Each structure stands twice: as structure tokens, then as C-alpha cells.
Amino acid sequence: MPDTTKLVFFDMDGVLAEFDTEVYRMYGIEKPAEKRDHFFIETDVEKRWEVCEQGIEREGIEFWENLKPIYPMIDLFYECKQMEGIRPVILSSPGEWTYSYKGKLNWIKKHMDFVGDDWIFTRQKGFIADKGRILIDDWDKNIKNWNNFGGSGLIPDFIGYKTEFPTFSVEQIRRRIFGGC
């Protein structure tokens, strides 16, 4: 008998944890209220991202461990976990940062009350996509790859930058997940 469990993948940085806010903290500025074309306000995005990566690397494990939780999404994760027929999984890219694996795992232990097989670290999220699988992520690139591989990608409406995809409130995401159960 085939497994009919619905898999719902939650990105960590920007979905379960406040990545943007922590980066702005490093620069001593408040997160802008309006949506921007890109994460950075300056026009030299590549140079700004390089400086950002250096700051994250300098802060090490603590950068990742101290990301603030996004509680509505964490609550949705646990709501999924309690539903029969749904399996939520944290799906996060470690990026190129030296300390992200350890720091992200420490964050999961600290804020999610579990360490088991409910998380995957990979830079190739699209390869996990399949028909019926949902990814909640804040990056267009990840959503596009996920959709191209047959999955259904959803972007939360609380992200701080413009996207080419529609965005969804937490309640709309909840309905998309539970609507087929």
C-alpha cells in the first residue's frame, strides 16, 4: 500500500526564523516597513551581500542560534505535526557559511523542542519536490525550482521584499495544507 502522507517542508531562514531582522541588526538599522525589490536597499547588491556574508561568518554559530522565531509559522509546523496524514519537515539550505549547520541545528533544538528526522539541510531543495509536496519558502529561486520539479511552493506574505509569485497569509497557507486532508 503506497504511503499517502502529505509532506510539508518549512524553510528555516525567513519562514521559521527572522533572518532579515538579524542581518539588519548587524548593520544597526531597522528593517524597512515597505517591500523592496531586493533584500538590500543599496544598488550595489553583490558588494552588499559580500559584506553581509562576512558579518554572518564573523558572528559564527551565535548568528544562527540567536535568530528570532516566527511563532505563527512554528505554530503551523506543530499543527501539521499533530495532524494524521501530514508530516512537516524543516528544509533549510546551509549556504556557504562555515557555522550554519551547527548553528541551525542548535536553533532547532532551542526553538522547536525536537531533534529527529524532521529536518533536512541541502542547497538543492528542488530535488526533494514531488507532486503533492508543499514548500513554504521566502526565495523566488527555491519556489521556482520546487514548482518546476512538480511540487507546490508557497511564499508567506510577511517577507520583506517583492516576489514574482503570489504571497499567502499564514491562514491561507494553513488552508492550502489542510484543504486536502
- How far apart, in whole angstroms, are the C-alpha atoms of residue 60 and residue 111? 18
Write down the pLDDT at residue 181. Answer: 46
**The pLDDT of residue 20:** 81
Instruction: Locate 16 and state its grid cell.
Output: 521559521
* Prediction pTM value: 0.89
Distance between CA 146 and CA 86 in Å, rounded?
19
Element housing 145 (H / E): helix 140-148
What's the CATH code, domain 6-178? Answer: 3.40.50.1000
**What pLDDT is stored for residue 133 in this prediction?**
96
Question: What is the amino acid identity at position 75?
Answer: D
In this predicted structure, what is the pLDDT of residue 24?
75
Residue with cell 532579515: 20
Q: 80-116: b or e for each residue (b if 16 or more CB lie within 10 Å)?
A: beeeeebebbbbbbbeebebbeebbbbbbeebbeeee
- Give the count of alpha carbons within 13 A of 47, CB side only: 4
Q: How would you write the pLDDT of the chain (181 residues) with one tens digit per residue?
A: 556 789 999 999 999 999 888 877 777 766 666 665 555 555 555 656 677 778 888 888 999 999 999 999 999 999 999 999 999 999 999 888 888 999 999 999 999 877 567 889 998 999 999 999 999 999 999 999 999 999 999 999 988 777 889 999 999 999 999 985 4
pLDDT value of residue 44: 52
